[in-house]
Every structure is written in structure tokens, then in C-alpha cells.
Chains A and B, each alone.
Chain A
Amino acid sequence: MKPFNYIQANSLVEAGAILAASSNGAIHSGGTDLMGCLRDRIWMDEVDVVVSLSGIAQLKYIRKEGDAIKIGAMTTLTEIATSSLVREGCLMLADAARATASPQLRNVGTLAGNICQENRCWYYRYSYRIGGIIECVRKGGKKCLAVGGDHRYHSIFGAVKKCVAVNPSDTAPALVAAGATIITTNREIPAVEFFTGENGKCSTVLEAGEIVREISVPFGGEGTKSAFKKVALRKSIDFAIVTSAASVLVDDGVVARASICLGGVAVTPHPSSEAAALLIGGPLSDERIAKAADAALAGAKPLKGNRYKVKMARAIIADTLAECS
């Protein structure tokens, strides 16, 4: 790992100022993704300063305010997974947090960090220690190596700026399905607009010096049920091949509201309003669930080596919706 300056910020204002003054600063919340990126030296520009938020105790909270669960940026995934408030008001988020990584990583990894993490494409992540860096299209190079190479875990919904690396966050689809809002030092961003493949190495719309302060999640009221499912090679310490999050409000046997979001299938979390619309107005039956699952995958454009993910995603959406009944 290359040496860098390390500063523990006392406030987000201070952290933002340090970032703005640095040439290529990085925020350390839990550090579990950042350390991997630094150790493998996957970025073209070396990080000159690491700004740690771990000294800012005020950023660690989960509380209910009106109809929302407010989660401070430094709240760990363990705290979210075990929070009775989150389990009651947004089970899919608690279960997504619980499905992430391993107990040790969840003890330090934060929700804010989880949604800001870098993608896991093995070309993008190719380590300096084994002959990297690969200057792939996401890092300003000309070509995506995954499209012509091994893309078994890559996007089945096309490329963004030629890159087919998927967003790897387990909590991202849950936040999108929940209609959460990401509150930064500058603005409030709906979760569905927070993720992008347009900004090169970053997987979010965050601008230079902008830091996530809080995540606001609507509290699912009476009758709302949500669920999260993850398919990965290993049960623990593994990134998803496909995830699915769904939330359904059934009123008097009829679906009144529904939202569905897939993860691990596209460059950004992949919600399907068409599929959700198909569920509204009737019972949450197996037949209607199957139609919704088909609709969610209708626009899929898998690559040669990942067609299996379409079937996998369809099956896991159906499973997730069935769990909401």
C-alpha cells in the first residue's frame, strides 16, 4: 500500500474541507472497501489523504422521526441488521444488511459506505500485487475487458459508458425499493438517483467533497411487508450474483402498493415499476407474481456468458414477492 496522510475529522464540515484541499482524498467510514482498493492500488491516481469519520460520534444513530427511520452515516451494518426499529419498519433493509459480507465486516462497515463502495469487476479490481493496474474503460481506458472476457457476474441490462460492472451493494436495492433518500452535506438525493456508472471510478452521483450524512428510510406502515433475497456462491463473505428487494402493501386481499428492485444485475440497482404496476389491483397470487417477475426481466440484454442470471433474477424476484404475502 502506498503511504498517505491520515486525518480523523471532527465534523463533516472539516472532512469536506480536507477533501476539497486534497488532490485525491478519500473518505474512510468503515474502511472495509477503501482498504481493499488502496491495498490493491486499483486506482490510476494515488490517494494522498484518507479522511476518517470514525471520530464523529454524532453520525451514529437510528431513530424514528415522523414516518421515517433516520440512519446516521456511521451506523454499522450490524447495528442496522439488529435494530428492532429497522426490522419493524423496513425488514428488507435489515435483512440486506445482515446478508452483507461477514460479522466482522458488518461490525465496522457502514450503510453509507456500503452504498458508496466501488464495483467488484475483476478487471477493474485487478490487483497491483498480481500485475495490475488494468486501465479499463471505467478508469479512462478504451476497452471493457469484461465484455470480451469473463463476464459471468456482470450486467444483464447493458453497459453504461461501455462498462458492464454491476453495483455490488446488497443494501442499495433495498434502499431503492423502500424509496429512501440519501442526505449528503449538500443536498437530498432519492436513492433511485444516487447510483450511476457515469462518473468513472465512483459509483454514485456524489460530487468532489460531498459526503453522505444520513439515510432516511420511509417507515413501512400497517400492512406493508418487505423481503430481501440474495444469491451468492457462498453463504457468507461473498458478493451477490443477484439480489432482490420488494415491498408490498396488501389491503383487503388486494395489492395497493408495490415496489421491486434487483441488485447485482446492472451498473446501478435495477428497479422495475412496470413489474410493480402489474401487481397492483389484484391479489398477490403465484400467477400474478410470475407475470410481474417476467416483466421485471423483459428488458434484459444478457451477455454471452451470463444468460443464466436472467433466469436466476426472475426466480429470486418471484421468491421475494411470495415472501411479502
Chain B
Amino acid sequence: MSASEKILSLTVNGEPKRLLVKTHWMLSRVLREEIHHTGTKEACGEGACGACTVLMGEKAVLACMTLALEAEGKSVETIEGLMSAKNPHPIQEAWMEEFGAQCGFCSPGMIMSAKALLLRNPDPTLGEVREAMAGNICVCSNYEHIEAAVLSAARKMREDGAQNG
């Protein structure tokens, strides 16, 4: 192991991972090319579009601007961590029902930003949704449907919470 390689230990979608990474690799590269979770998209690669948004702890961060080694000991959640096609997460359900995706490229990042918002604020106003989602760009300009999907997901998750609680 040279000075430009280090062992990275982190948790991805609940699974502990330990891998050898180059010190200059970004988290997006490790997620996509080493762990093969390609749901996290890299579009601009300079922190300006939000397509690579993942959760680190409970916070939305940009995987393309985060050095992989900064995730040491952290818990990372990607779109793969939500749920499978047969058993979608309420945010994913809301995305389908409200037509949150057109081309769909921004959806994984959008959904992770939505999850970060709903974790800290289960009942956001439209203004709060707009502020929380302001770091994610949709080139199809599908914003009205995305706002509706986030608000609908919030309702679903509150109802689910009420049922389970």
C-alpha cells in the first residue's frame, strides 16, 4: 500500500464495507465503480447539479465532492438503500404516482434530498420543500411534479408512521 492508497471502512446501506481506495478518489467513484451501486449518478462532477446526492448519516451530501476517505467510519445511504422495485419506499411510490421522473436521471439524487428533508421535517411546507430541493437540478424541468411527489411522500410517511406508531 503506497502513500496514495488507504483502507476505507464505512457502512453502505447498512452493510459494513472495507476496501482499498486511492486517496484522491471521490465517494461517487467508490460507490459506483468499487461497490457497484450505480444508482448514484455523476453528472456535472463539480457540485453544481445534485445528481450524486447521498445521505451521510442523516445529511444530504454530494458524493462527487466528497473525498471517499472523508466517509471513514460513516454510514452512507444511496438510492439502492431505499427499497426494491417490488417493495418501494413511500418516496419512490410518490415519485411514480406523481410522475416525479421524466428522463429519471436526477431522480436518485432528488429522492435522497427528499429523504434528508423528511427525516428532519416530516411535514414540510411547499417553501421548505423548495429550499431543501434547491441543490438538485432537473434538466427536464419537472419541478412541479417533483414538489408534488415530495409533499405526497411526506403525507404517506406521516400516515405510515401513525399506523406503525
Contact = CB atoms under 8 A, between A and B. Distances in A.
A103 B67 contact: no
Interface string B19-57: 000111010000000000000000001111110010000
Interface in A71-107: 78, 101-105, 107
Interface in A1-31: 1-6, 8, 28, 31
A117 interface: no
A104 B60 contact: yes
Given A6-B67, A102-B50, A102-B134, A107 B23 contact: no
B137 A107 contact: no
Interface stretch (A32-40, A167-175, A274-282): A32-40
Interface in B66-87: 66-67, 69-70, 72
Contacts, number: 91
A184 interface: no
Interface residues of B, number: 32
B59 interface: yes
B157 interface: no
A3 B23 CA distance: 7
Interface string B113-129: 10010000000000000
Contacts of B46: 36, 39-40
Nearest to B54: A104
Nearest to A6: B23
A103 B24 contact: no
A134 B23 CA distance: 26
Contact of A105 (B24, B26, B62, B69): B62
Contacts of B91: none
Contact of A3 (B4, B65, B137): B4
B6 interface: yes
Contacts of A28: 67, 70
Given A35-B26, A39-B46, A103 B135 contact: yes
Contacts of B26: 35
Contact of B24 (A3, A52, A107): A3
Contacts of A3: 4, 22-24
B67 A50 contact: yes
A32 B65 contact: yes
A325 interface: no
B70 A103 contact: no
Contacts of B50: 102, 104, 237
Contacts of B72: 8
A4 B132 CA distance: 34
Given A6-B69, A31-B66, A108-B66, A38 B24 contact: yes
Query: Which of B24, B46, B113 lies at the interface centre, i.e. has the most chain A CB atoms within 10 A of its CB?
Result: B24
Interface of B: 3-4, 6, 22-24, 26, 45-50, 53, 59-62, 65-67, 69-70, 72, 113, 116, 131-132, 134-137
Nearest 4 CB-CB pairs, A to B?
A102-B135, A236-B134, A6-B23, A3-B4
Given A104-B113, A237-B50, 16 more contacts: A2-B24, A3-B4, A4-B4, A4-B24, A5-B3, A5-B23, A6-B69, A8-B72, A35-B66, A36-B65, A39-B45, A102-B136, A104-B47, A107-B61, A237-B134, A237-B137
